[in-house]
Amino acid sequence: MTRVDFYILAEQASGDGARTACRIAEKAYRLGQKIFLHTDSARSAASLDDQLWTYRDGSFIPHAIVGSEAAADSPVIIGQGEEPDPEHRDLLINLSDQVPLFFSRFERVVEIVGGNEAARKQARERFRFYRDRGYPLNTHELG
């Protein structure tokens, strides 16, 4: 069964959701996992693509956006609503306000919760969604 982890950002770090996603993706990549970063728009996907190149000096995370030629061979894929290839099933990092319909095919889902009240309200709805369906849930407070 899919394990779901909520990473709750401190209030002052509410804009750091993409940066947190990059850190989690890098750690999972180093562990040999296939990762899918799910965003809510093409603009968010492009921004995340840029951040994966620049978020930390000396870091390299090979990645591609769904639909590009490089996506077939990349261990890290960025998408915006479409399902990833079946081989990407280790980790889903959800940066969307909605639960992706395909979440259950992943071993683990990471939900990143911003520090502002609107983001927390949406996260509580996603938390209830997973809980009501019996998925194992963990929360992690980030300082």
The pLDDT of residue 12 is: 58
Confidence class for position 13, pLDDT limits 50, 70, 90: low
Number of H helices, E strands in the chain: 3, 7
pLDDT digits (tens, 9 = 90+) for 34-53: 999 999 999 999 999 999 98
The C-alpha atoms of residue 119 and residue 96 are separated, in whole angstroms, by 10
Which of 64-73, 91-100, 126-135 has the weakest average pLDDT?
Answer: 64-73
The pLDDT of residue 115 is: 82
pLDDT digits (tens, 9 = 90+) for 94-126: 999 999 999 999 999 999 998 889 999 999 999
The pLDDT of residue 15 is: 56
Cβ within 8 Å of residue 68, ≥6 positions away: none
Beta strands per DSSP E along the chain: 3-8, 35-38, 63-65, 76-79, 91-94, 108-113, 137-141
Is the model's pLDDT at 142 over the cut of 90?
no
Confidence class for position 28, pLDDT limits 50, 70, 90: very high
DSSP class of residue 36?
E
Select the more confidently predicted residue: 71 or 138. Answer: 138
Rounded mean pLDDT of the chain? 91
DSSP class of residue 10?
P
Cβ within 8 Å of residue 130, ≥6 positions away: 4, 99, 109, 137
Confidence class for position 84, pLDDT limits 50, 70, 90: confident
**Structural domains of the chain ordered from first start:** 3-141 (3.40.50.10110)
CB 66 within 8 A of CB 78: yes
- E strand or H helix that includes residue 131: helix 117-132
